[in-house]
Every structure is written in structure tokens, then in C-alpha cells.
Chains A and B, each alone.
Chain A
Amino acid sequence: MLYFSKLRIIFITLFSLLFIAIASSNLFKFDDDFFDKKINLGLDLQGGSYLLLEIDNAPVIEQKLQNLTTTIRNYFKEQNIKINNIKIEGENIFFNVDNQSKQTIIDTFTDENSDINPYYPRFKSHQLNIEDTGLNLKVNFSKQGLITLKTSSQDQAIEIVRRRIDEVGTNEPNILKRGNNRILVELPGLDDPMRVKSLLGKTANLTFRFVTNNENDSFGVEKLKYEDGIEEATVSKRIIISGDNLLDAQPKMDTQTNQTIVSFSLDRVGAKRFGKATSTGIGKQLAIVLDGKIISAPVIRDTIASGSGQISGGFTFQTATDLALLLRSGALPAPLDIIEERTVGPDLGQDSIDAGMIALTIGFLLVIIFMFVKYKIFGLITNVTLIINLFILLGILTLFEATLTLPGIAGIILTVGMAVDANVLIFERIKEELKDEKNNIVAFDSGYIKSRTAIIDANITTLLAAIILFFMGSGPIKGFSVTLGIGIFTTLFSVYFIARLFTSLYVAKNRNKEKLI
């Protein structure tokens, strides 16, 4: 165990130096990409926001079912089958048909080439299930149908979230999918988390609709509140133009009224419809509705054919900027709820770094002093190894650009405390061996060999705990498991290669000395 070939010594030295260099690269700036790798600081250390958003798919499902009732009615009408009593209850559509047509309808729904019910060959499932309850026919989304629907609304939502966050201009945001109805957003070094939260909390569903007094409007009507939450107006359900028709939106100052407004321009289709609506509807009120609330409802005075217009509604410059941003980036397919938020201010982050570093330094010094007092020259070997171990650990974290969190620093300190364990096991074993064995080299050799199973077992158990933490833990805790886990490997390397190398060199020189350890 104590013999090292020259090649091996060179290899160990180079390997250690390499990681020391990589670890030190955190302190300097390099132009080169490879050397410019740095340990990422977690949100708890550099400050920032972690937001977990959940997509509320209920309105999407409801809307889809609404559309589906129309589709079903029209589709079978063409085939001269009359659909009666069609209604939505919960997440199901119920309807009646005469008995002869029942089978035709069920066949249409279960046909793999069905026009009305898409088939997913990959999952061997239709989008919709149909069931004869005896009283009527029941149609609802299949499991796969729901998953597809959720995934697609997640895809749309993540795109919109990304656009909105990019518009705010945060540096290096991290936007990820979680499951099929959640989005994780990490925003390092954010100044104003509240603004982002309020931007993400809005669906930004914009519609232009006529205010009407005719309760029998063929499209249906609904009563909507103004932004102030007090006044109300009856608005037709017919949508003139929606947010989808917008090409651009910008906050502006209206020089005449000295008000902040949002000016917008429409695409071709939108401009055409807007022109038509404003020419036929002169004198009427056109309500601008955002997320079910009326921002304003100006009276149309002139035909607007240019395809651009403006929204006023008592905005401050900030609210106008945000509204323009929301309109530019588009509407979310469904409302988002912020179900988890963790925000750390930059000064607390810095305080945590400072505290972590002080704790690391003190913990390290305490362990080093203890080991030196206890083992003298071998304590010194352990300590040098410990320092190299720390550098290799930091080097690996740098190489993988791992994220260092506050619990991660705790993991490093813990590694320092536990790293000496392997060396202690070996040294204690050697001491025992020396009681019966007078030859130093033989005693050291068998000390290393006999302590090996205990060291391996002991480290595997800690590694197992770290692996479970890695998969079950989130955010900062994950950082802890990473440093703890990598720490085990670097510890084993430094104990069996570096410390053993030093030990063998020392023992070879002092092979005849009594009471070596």
C-alpha cells in the first residue's frame, strides 16, 4: 500500500495542481471561456427570487368544453342527427339523441380517423371519452386528452412568462417546467420582485367589445365592473378585436390631455375589423376589457382605419409601461397562481456569504489545530491533505459550474469535519498494528489495508444519504447534498492518494524510528 511509482506521483501532483488552479480561477477574471468558469451563487447567497407558478387549467378546460358543444352540435347537424339538451356539468358534456343515432355517434367518437375526436397513436388513446349512461351520452376528456391539453397550455404559458421576464430585463433568469402544470422561475439579483410578481399574476386577456343596453344581443351579454370595482356596464360578448391582433403597444404621453396612455398598433385583420367596427358604431361606447375588468369605455367619434389607437384609463407612467409590456408579450392561456415564493434581498445574501466564510474559516482552523495537537507530524500531513481536498472540492464545483448555497457552505464545513475521519481510522489502526509489529513499513501497510472496509462502508452510507437528499430536496438543500456528495469523493481521493503519498515518503525516510505515530 505504501509504494508509489514515479508516474503515479506525477499524476497525483498534476491532478491536484489542476484543481487548485481551477478553484483559484474563481478569484480572477479570464477572457477564455474554459478558464472563466465560476461557482454560481445560489439565490440565497446572491439575492433574488424563486417563484413557483401553477397554471390554473380549469378555465381552459371550460373554454374547450364550450367550444366542443358547438362543434358537436354543428358536426352532427350536417349528418342530420339532432343533438338535444346539450349541457356542460363539471368537466363533462351531456346530450341526448334518438336511439337509432346513438351508435353512429359512439362510432364516430371511437373511430381512429375521427374528425371530431383526435386519436394519439403514441398513447393508444383518443382525446375524448364517450359513454352511454342510459339517460344520455356523456363526453369528457380522456386522461391522455387532459395531459395533452395541460402540456400545451404549459408550453404556451412558459413562452409568455419568458417574454414578460425578458422585457423586464432581469439578468440570466432561469425558467423551467415542473410537472405538467407548473413553471419554476428563478430571478437572480432582482431589484423589485413585486413588479415581476404582479406582471406574472395577470393573464392579460385584452378584448375590445361594445357596451350595449340590448339584453337580447345575439352573442349574449355580461355585466362587467370597471377597474375601480364600483361602476358597472353591460358589455356584449362579441369580441371586436383581442390582444392577439396587437402588433405593438407602447406607453406614451398624450400632449393634449397630459395623461399617460398606451398606444397600440394592430395587425391587418385587426385593423380591418377595428375600422369596420368604428365606422358602424359611431356614437357607441367601445369597452376595453382586460382580464374581465373594463379599463375604459370611450365613445367612438370617428372611424379609425389606420389600425392604431390608444388606451387611456388614468395610468401612471409605471402602470402604463406595465400594461404595454403585458400587451406586447401576449396573453397567458390560463391564469397563473404563485404557489411558492422565496425572495432574498442582496444584503442578506452578502451577510450569509460573510457568515458562511467566517464559519468555514473557524471550523477549518479548529479542526486543523485539533489534528495537529493530536497527531503532530501526521496531523500536519492530514491538514495539508485537507487543504488540498478543499481546493479539489471547490475545483470540481467550479468545473461543473455548480450552484453554491448557504446549506452548501455548511456541507463543505461538514466535509472538513468528517474528512479527517478516514485518516483517523487509518492512523488509529496503524497505532494498533505497531503494538505487535516492529517493522514500521509493514505496520503502516497493514494499517491501511485493514481500515479500508470500515472507511468504504462509512463513506457509502453518507453518500447514500446525500443522493437521497439530492433527489428529494429542492433549491438550497440540493446545494447541500451536492457539496456533501462531492466532498466524499474528494475526501477518498485525498486520503488514499495525497495523504498516503506524504505518509509513504515520511515513513520511508524514518523507517527505523521508534514510536513513529
Chain B
Amino acid sequence: MIAFNKYYNHFNLISSILIVCSLILLIFKGLNFGIDFKGGTLIELRSSDSKINVSSLRDKFSQMNLGDVSVKKFGNDTDYLIKFENKDSKKNIIEEIKINLDKSFGNNFNFRRVENVGPKVSAELLRSGVIAISLSLAIMLFYIWIRFEWQFSLGAILALFHDVIVTLGVFSLFSLEINLSIIAAVLTIVGYSMNDTVVIFDRVRENLRKYSDIKIFELTNISINETLSRTIITSATTLLALLAIYLFGGEILKGFSLAMILGVIFGTYSSIYIANTVLVRLRVSQKTVLREDDQK
């Protein structure tokens, strides 16, 4: 049996630091919103001429009066991702760019993807993203409150907040782009983290009923150990699947799968070291679950 409970205090401290750091990053550095939430235009180009490179392309785009343009390689050597704000919401901007590029480089470009999000739509998308995440947290809280005692809900929700905030913190730290698929990833993380926490909690509750003489400090440790092999195997298979998406699923799914990988790791960690320590700190005992049984 691994003595997870020996490190409850250490990891609580580390988690607190992680959360504070993430919050500081989120407040002061902020998130790198993609065009979905900031508005603007995105173009994915593929060039068939090997002489074209990032700097020549960047020079050309900066001459086009598009404002702040970002030109980056995307995946392999011939693909580029161009992003700019399109402040005046010019209607024929793509056509203009096409003509301009053809003039300087010849007809060597394939416009593989064009996305244009107006300021109104991006504001709405951001709002509905925030609503979606808040709503899912609220619904999870409600669900777990119905299924367990309030001490368990608090533990699960704290674990969820930890996962969401720290994952977003990592995205802020490395300036990774937040787009619609990241919101999907965060929601899935919420589901996964909850899933993981519920399995351990289910066992804690069962053990609380079974043993009246074991303190919650010991009891959580027993429960974690009993469910440990399941926790490891499920995380492993999920991570294997996600790793396959990250490595082979193409550039578009990279951010999504990275967020999910982080979320699964944090989610697994938090079910052990956050959800359970809340139970310990709230001094959950056999009475807590027996009262619940009486009510039923």
C-alpha cells in the first residue's frame, strides 16, 4: 500500500501555489485568444514553391496594410498560418491578398483554410464558452450534491476548479492559443476529472459504511489504494488515445489534445490529492454517510 496520505499537506501546498500562480498568470498575462474569441481573419496557406519562406511571406504581408499580422509555419515546411485583426472588416480582403501574393510570388499558393470572425460573433462565442464552462461546473456540483453529502461535493468541485484553472494557467504560461476546441477540451476535462473523483469517492463512502473505527485520514488512503490500479489503467488508456490524436491527428487537433492530456494528468492528480484532502480537512466520518442513509 502506498502512503498517499503522508504527502497530503505537501501536495496541498503545491496545489495552492499552482492555483495562485495560474491565477496571477491569467490576470496579468491573460490568455492568448484565437480569432474565435478575439475576432479577425485566419488563413492557412500551402506554397508549392520551396523558395518561399516565412520571412519573405512576412515581409509581403506587412506591406499589405493589414495591421498586426502574424505569419507562422504550420505543421510542415510548406504550410503557413497567417492571422490578422481585420479591423475594418473589409469584405474582399481575401481576394486582395490572393491578388497581391500572386503578383509577388506567382500563382504558387493554395488557400487551404480561411476563417473570418466578426467582432460581434467573437464576443458571443466567448460569452457562450464562459457560460458553457460555468454551467457544466454548476451541473456537476448539483449532480454530486444529489449523489453524495455536501463535503464530497465541495471536494469534487475544488478538484474541478483546480484542473480547469491550472490547465488554463499552462496555456497562459506558454501563450498557447485558446479557441473553440479548447473550450470543448476543458468541458471534457471537467467530465473526466469528475469521473475520476467519483470512482474514488464511491469507494470512500463504501469504506466509511464498512469500517467505523478507521479515521478518515487512513480511510481515504485505503480507498485510493484500492482504486489505484483502475485509476492508473484508465488514465493510461485515455492518455494513449490522446497521445495518438496529438501525434497523428494533424495540426488542427494539437491544441485540443494537448489541453486534454494536461487535463487528464491534473484530473488524476486532483482526485487523489485535492478531493480526498477536503474530506480529511472537513473531518468526514461514518456519521456523515449514515445520516445520508437515514434520510433515504
Q: How far is the CA of A201 from the CA of B238 in the complex (A)?
A: 46
Contact with A along B185-217 (1 / 0, CB 8 A): 001101110111011001100100000000000
B residues less than 8 Å from A360 (CB atoms): 244
B114 x A341 contact (CB < 8 A): yes
B112 x A370 contact (CB < 8 A): no
| Chain B CB within 8 A of A193 CB | yes
Could you say which of B118, B136, B238 contacts A418, with CB atoms under 8 Å apart?
A: B238
| Chain B CB within 8 A of A253 CB | no
A464 x B140 contact (CB < 8 A): yes
| Chain A CB within 8 A of B240 CB | yes
Q: How far is the CA of A193 from the CA of B187 in the complex (A)?
A: 33
Q: How far is the CA of A432 from the CA of B237 in the complex (A)?
A: 21
B233 x A420 contact (CB < 8 A): yes
B112 x A345 contact (CB < 8 A): yes
B interface bracket (residues with beta carbon within 8 Å of A) = 35 or more
**Given the known A-B contacts A464-B139, A473-B132, are A363 and B244 also in contact in the complex, defined by CB atoms under 8 Å?**
yes
| Chain A CB within 8 A of B236 CB | yes
Could you say which of A201, A407, A428 contacts B229, with CB atoms under 8 Å apart?
A: A428
Which segment, of B26-34, B58-66, B246-254, faces chain A? B246-254
A367 x B240 contact (CB < 8 A): yes
| Chain B CB within 8 A of A269 CB | no
**Given the known A-B contacts A413-B241, A417-B237, A469-B187, are A345 and B132 also in contact in the complex, defined by CB atoms under 8 Å?**
no
**Given the known A-B contacts A359-B249, A407-B253, A425-B230, are A473 and B202 also in contact in the complex, defined by CB atoms under 8 Å?**
no
| Chain B CB within 8 A of A460 CB | yes
Could you say which of A54, A370, A476 contacts B237, with CB atoms under 8 Å apart?
A: A370
**Given the known A-B contacts A338-B91, A363-B245, A472-B128, are A370 and B111 also in contact in the complex, defined by CB atoms under 8 Å?**
no
Nearest 4 A/B pairs, CB to CB:
A417-B241, A363-B244, A465-B191, A355-B250
| Chain A CB within 8 A of B12 CB | no
Contact with A along B67-101 (1 / 0, CB 8 A): 00000000000000000000001011011000000
Interface residues of B (CB under 8 A from A): 44, 46, 89, 91-92, 94-95, 110-118, 120-121, 125, 128-129, 131-132, 135-136, 139-140, 143, 147, 180-181, 183-184, 187-188, 190-192, 194-196, 198-199, 202-203, 206, 226-227, 229-230, 233-234, 236-245, 247-250, 252-253, 256-257, 260
Could you say which of A340, A428, A432 contacts B116, with CB atoms under 8 Å apart?
A: A340
A366 x B244 contact (CB < 8 A): yes
A425 x B244 contact (CB < 8 A): no
Q: How far is the CB of A325 from chain B (nearest CB, A)?
A: 18
Q: How far is the CA of A469 from the CA of B188 in the complex (A)?
A: 9
A residues less than 8 Å from B181 (CB atoms): 407, 476-477, 480
**Given the known A-B contacts A347-B110, A407-B181, A428-B227, are A420 and B234 also in contact in the complex, defined by CB atoms under 8 Å?**
yes
A52 x B121 contact (CB < 8 A): yes
Which segment, of A2-10, A76-84, A217-225, A451-459, faces chain B? A451-459
B143 x A366 contact (CB < 8 A): no
| Chain B CB within 8 A of A22 CB | no
| Additional pairs, 12, CB under 8 Å, beyond known A343-B115, A472-B135 | A341-B114, A341-B116, A358-B248, A367-B240, A413-B241, A420-B237, A424-B230, A458-B198, A465-B194, A473-B184, A480-B184, A484-B188
Interface residues of A in 393-411 (CB under 8 A from B): 406-407, 409-410
Number of interface residues of A (CB under 8 A): 72
A residues less than 8 Å from B194 (CB atoms): 458, 461-462, 465
| Chain B CB within 8 A of A351 CB | yes
A468 x B110 contact (CB < 8 A): no
Could you say which of B113, B115, B191, B227 contacts A462, with CB atoms under 8 Å apart?
A: B191
Q: How far is the CB of B247 from chain A (nearest CB, A)?
A: 8
Q: How far is the CA of A332 from the CA of B126 in the complex (A)?
A: 31
Nearest to B230 among chain A residues (CB) is: A428
User: Among B131, B184, B192, B195, which residue has the most Cβ atoms of chain A within 10 A?
Assistant: B184
B233 x A374 contact (CB < 8 A): yes
B residues less than 8 Å from A348 (CB atoms): 44, 112-113
Interface residues of A (CB under 8 A from B): 44, 52, 54, 193-194, 197-198, 201, 337-345, 347-348, 351-352, 355-356, 358-360, 362-364, 366-367, 370-371, 374, 406-407, 409-410, 413-414, 416-418, 420-421, 424-425, 428, 432, 450, 453-454, 457-466, 468-469, 472-474, 476-477, 480-481, 484
Q: How far is the CB of B2 from chain A (nearest CB, A)?
A: 16
Nearest to B250 among chain A residues (CB) is: A355
Q: How far is the CB of B188 from chain A (nearest CB, A)?
A: 6
Could you say which of A44, A363, A466 contacts B241, with CB atoms under 8 Å apart?
A: A363
Q: How far is the CA of A484 from the CA of B192 in the complex (A)?
A: 12
A352 x B115 contact (CB < 8 A): no
B113 x A468 contact (CB < 8 A): no
User: Among A341, A420, A421, A460, which residue has the most Cβ atoms of chain B within 10 A?
Assistant: A421
Q: How far is the CB of A440 from chain B (nearest CB, A)?
A: 20
**Given the known A-B contacts A366-B241, A413-B241, A477-B184, are A464 and B191 also in contact in the complex, defined by CB atoms under 8 Å?**
yes
Nearest to A357 among chain B residues (CB) is: B248
Nearest to B186 among chain A residues (CB) is: A465
Q: How far is the CA of A337 from the CA of B234 in the complex (A)?
A: 48
Q: How far is the CA of A228 from the CA of B91 in the complex (A)?
A: 18
B237 x A344 contact (CB < 8 A): no
B residues less than 8 Å from A345 (CB atoms): 110-113
Q: How far is the CA of A472 from the CA of B120 in the complex (A)?
A: 17
**Given the known A-B contacts A417-B242, A454-B199, A458-B195, are A432 and B226 also in contact in the complex, defined by CB atoms under 8 Å?**
yes
B residues less than 8 Å from A420 (CB atoms): 233-234, 237
A residues less than 8 Å from B241 (CB atoms): 363-364, 366-367, 413-414, 416-418
B253 x A406 contact (CB < 8 A): yes
Nearest to A409 among chain B residues (CB) is: B249
A356 x B249 contact (CB < 8 A): yes
Could you say which of A428, A468, A476 contacts B136, with CB atoms under 8 Å apart?
A: A468
B113 x A410 contact (CB < 8 A): no
Give 26 CB contacts A-B under 8 Å. A52-B121, A341-B115, A342-B116, A343-B114, A345-B112, A347-B112, A348-B113, A355-B248, A359-B245, A360-B244, A371-B237, A414-B188, A414-B260, A424-B234, A428-B229, A450-B206, A459-B195, A461-B195, A462-B188, A464-B143, A465-B140, A472-B131, A472-B135, A477-B183, A480-B184, A481-B184
Q: How far is the CA of A245 from the CA of B79 in the complex (A)?
A: 50
Q: How far is the CB of A517 from chain B (nearest CB, A)?
A: 12
Q: How far is the CA of A260 from the CA of B181 in the complex (A)?
A: 48
Q: How far is the CB of A46 from chain B (nearest CB, A)?
A: 13
A residues less than 8 Å from B183 (CB atoms): 473, 477
B residues less than 8 Å from A356 (CB atoms): 249-250, 253
